[in-house]
Every structure is written in structure tokens, then in C-alpha cells.
Structure 1
């Protein structure tokens, strides 16, 4: 991983501490009267959702604790113990490794580079051979096999305008900054099946 060292040093200097939950185990919920970190993370997720401003193409629910036996949790806390970042890896398969399913830096806490780098560097020590992010937007929509003509050019311009308007490449650019390599995402559709609604469907998928 190509670690963003300045951001990591800044987080360390601010007293940010990263915690790793053993793979397949849940974050403590305080049910035994002790550590209630899970409730704190849930609250910070709600803070994160509430902080998202402007027009949203798609806003899905976040369910980090589902199927926890196939997930791996990491979180960061500031010097006051306040949760400031959360990462969850999800197992795809032994062959395909794990997906970075959630990577959230909460309002007022720019620590996500530090936390993701820690998760990426920790995973291989437990035998994870491959890590992947979820699909992200590219700047352009490239026409493929048997797709051509004026309609395609209109769709390409529509896609590019919407990507720019909603800043959808930020996520992909951030991942490249961390050392990720882009792979093309192929979309198959029936004849005359990709119109303006199809473009919106693509954008909803990659924006999530």
C-alpha cells in the first residue's frame, strides 16, 4: 500500500489510536456493563449520515454488524476516546480475499488514511491474499462491443456531466492515493436497454 504519510503522521501527532477486533468477532456492545464501543460507533455512523450535504444520488442504509463471522472490524479513537473512524472488511471467498466494505471518517476527524492503511497492512498477516474496494466511478463511460452511434455519445456526455456535478470520482481518486489499482467494470444490457434511466442506475451503483 502506498501510505499517505503526512496524513498518518498528523493522526499520530493528534493522539489517534487504532484498535483491531479479532477477525470474526463483534465489537463490544456493553451488554455486560463494560465496553460499549459498538454503540459509540453506531452513533457516529448516524452523525456521518446526517453530515452528508447537498443532493444525494443514492443513500443506502449501513449495516456493519451483519454476518460478523465473515467480517473484520477496525476503529480509531482520538485522545479523548471519541470514535473518529471505522473500517469493516467483508470476506468474499478464500480465493478472492476480502472487500473493504465500509471506510468511514466521522465529522471533524480526518483519520481515514491512517485507519485504512492499518487495516490493509494487517490483513495479509492473517493470510488474506487480496483486498478490494467496492466499485467506484470513473471519469468517463467507455463504449464497448456493439455500442455506438449518436445515442451513445449523448449517454457519455450525460454520464460525464453527472459524475462531475456530484464529484463521484473523489472516492476512486482517494483509493488510487492509497495504492489501489483500477479495474474496469463491464456492464451488459439488452438492445435499446441503456437510456437515461440506465445511466442513473450506474451512478447509483458506484456512488454507494
Structure 2
């Protein structure tokens, strides 16, 4: 964990601001105490929080050297092209390939001697082919294959033009905070009432705070507490699941890219942290991905709901209309391109057996509580070069999704139950 002698740089959100869903309109300029040079979506959102919740936004930008390094090819590529699928940027198990020609970057994970690329290449459309050719030279030198997971429909069409196999395996669920029914008091009224109870000083005693290290500086003590809560939560979840498979797991080093993230967290009357949510900036959609969002084992009921609704409210005030909840895997493959009928049948049967062997159900019901916008939902694809059934690539994809082949083969129907968890991490 990074060290720092700086004092706490988090700010507390008032109960009044969090409990009222009809928010005031964001002023067109920052407050008089705010100096924003080259405003990013992170700083814009932070200062919107200061305005919305009546916080002191007089903090000067940090002089921490980690935030003043020259912009790299990867920084620029991520800033312009990042999507939800690139959540692995916060997972130390992922690697980054950066073009020597400045064409862009790829985020990937090594599995079964295959570079499993997360999402689309971080580049412009015209740079896709030369970037992938440059990566191919690197891969061949390492003896690596390639596959893409979580690719967009646009990239899947490109892959089909290259003669690759593509499979639609799920979709991304997205909230539009600007039009959301929950924020308009038109839905989920029980959840809203519970949020207000939590924020009532006499009943719930919960406070919500914001931490934005790239704007206000690093608070090493707070980061340690948040990371510890996350690690404890993961350990408890894994113990509950036992030997059950857990699909599409990302293990976060929460503060590895502070310029891309801000955090909402809750405390009880004694100041103990009871939950938090990470908001990661998405350059491609000019919005955010919220993950992980978790509560401690001793937290009162409804903390994760409160964190998500607060994030929605904050983005609404910042006039940001894109908040991704993450991926929702399909119950079966609907679409396979680039295969014969028999090969497509094999792919579908294999996927269906895999998806039935892991606890992925339950996400839809949880996401639906927040009324995602159907028009913002997007399909997700797996893309594999060539045709036929690539054995090594298939094994790599299973390992990437945290699936054990032996457990899959010995899986019994109905064995697994969905753990009670809010986050997709």
C-alpha cells in the first residue's frame, strides 16, 4: 500500500443532500473556491459532489508526483477509449501492451499460453489493424495465441470481416442518471425509504463520504482501510462459496490507478467504514463503471443500494448520463458467427454447460432494482481468430472466466447457488 504523510482528503456528504432525490441543477461554472485546470471527468464529478452536498471544494490539486507524470500512450488511449470491459486495469494479473508507434494499447491476461484481451483494443478504428499486427509480432515471439472477451458489437463486426469466430455471450447493463425512475421518485420507493432511514442521524446514523485521490491527494490510512474491507469481503465470499466456481472474477488493487477512480464510502456512528463503491472513468462513453460496491459483514441492510443510488444522484448533478453496472452473462449463446452448423452447436453446448456450472444468475434481479436504461444496454462478444474449435483458446477462455475444467466436467445440475453479493468482482 502506498505511503503518505498527508492528512485525510475525504469529504463527508450531508444527510440532507443524500436523502433528497430531487437535486438542484449544477451550476455552469465551479464554485468560487474551486480552481480547475484541464478538468477531467473525475475532477468534474468530484466538484459536482462538492456543489451538490455543500462541501468545501477549496482543496488545491495534489502535487503528488504520481499524478504529474507525462501523459503516456496508454494514458491517452485509456482516456479516449476505455469501456467497462477494461475493468482489469485495476487487477494486477492483467498486462498492458502499448504500441511502439503510438497507435494505442491492449489490456490482456495470460491464460493457457493465450493473450486473452479484455474488451476492444484501446485505439481508433483506423488503428485497429496495425495495432493488432504489432501485437501479433509480440505474441509470436512469445508463442502466444489470442482471444477477445467482452468485445463490443462494433469490434465483433470487424472480427467477422477478418474471418474470426464471434459469440454473443451477454450484455452490459447501464443506468442513465439523467432520466432514471428511481431518482424521479417513480420506482423502488421501498429502497428510497430505506436509504432515508439509514441516513437519519437518530435511526441509521450512516454518513456517506467521497474520496478522490487525484484531486485532493492520497490518504494512505483510508486506502488501507478500504482495501482491507475489500480483501475481507472477498475472503468471506470465497469461504461461503466453498469449492463452487465463480465466473468472471476480477481481483482489484483498488488504488493502482488513482487518476481513473473516485470512491464513495459509508461510515457508522462510530466512524467505522461499513461499505464503499468504486467509480472508474470510461473514456469511450464519457461515464463511469461502478464496481466493486460492497458492504462489510456488520453493515446494516441496504448499504450497497444506498451507495449506488448516491452515485446515480451524483452523476445526475454532474450531468453525466452513463453509469455501468457491469456485465450480465446470457443464460445461453444466441449468436455464433464464423462456424459450421455443427461447430456452432458444439460452441453453444459447451457454453451452456459452462454457464450452468457457475453462479451467475441473480445479477439481473439485482440490476433491475435500479432501472437500467434498455437503450444504453450493449451486447458483449467473445472473438477468436480462425474457425473450428480452438482447444487452447477454449481452455484460456475458461481460465480467464475462473472456470476449472475438472469441476466443469463433474458438475451436477442444481449444485450451485448464487451467493448473496452485490458486486460483480
TM-score range, shorter chain: 0.7 to 0.9
Alignment RMSD: 3.1
1:186 alignment counterpart: 381
Cα distance change, pair 138–81 in 1 and its aligned pair in 2 (3 A): farther
Cα distance change, pair 118–155 in 1 and its aligned pair in 2 (3 A): same
Higher RCO (CA 8 Å, separation ≥ 6 residues): 2
Larger Rg: 2
2:9 alignment counterpart: none
Cα distance change, pair 61–142 in 1 and its aligned pair in 2 (3 A): same
- Where structure 1 has 5 or more consecutive residues not aligned to the other structure, the ranges are none
Cα distance change, pair 95–104 in 1 and its aligned pair in 2 (3 A): same
Which of 182, 185, 194 is the equivalent residue of 1:10? 194
- Aligned 8 A contact 1:89 1:101 in 2: yes
Question: What TM-score do the two structures reach when normalised by structure 1?
Answer: 0.77
Deviates more, 1:56-65 or 1:178-187: 56-65
Cα distance change, pair 146–51 in 1 and its aligned pair in 2 (3 A): same
1:200 alignment counterpart: 398
Supply the distance in 1 between the matched residues of 2:274 and 2:324 (Cα, whole angstroms).
23
Aligned pairs for 1:77-96 within 5 A: 77-93=267-283, 95-96=285-286
Supply the distance in 2 between the matched residues of 1:106 and 1:161 (Cα, whole angstroms).
33
Supply the distance in 1 between the matched residues of 2:208 and 2:337 (Cα, whole angstroms).
46
- Aligned 8 A contact 2:212 2:261 in 1: no
1:129 alignment counterpart: 321
Residues matched between the structures, number: 202
Cα distance change, pair 39–198 in 1 and its aligned pair in 2 (3 A): closer
Question: What TM-score do the two structures reach when normalised by structure 2?
Answer: 0.41
Cα distance change, pair 2–199 in 1 and its aligned pair in 2 (3 A): farther
Partner SS for 2:371: coil
1:21 partnered with 2:211: yes
Supply the distance in 1 between the matched residues of 2:280 and 2:298 (Cα, whole angstroms).
26
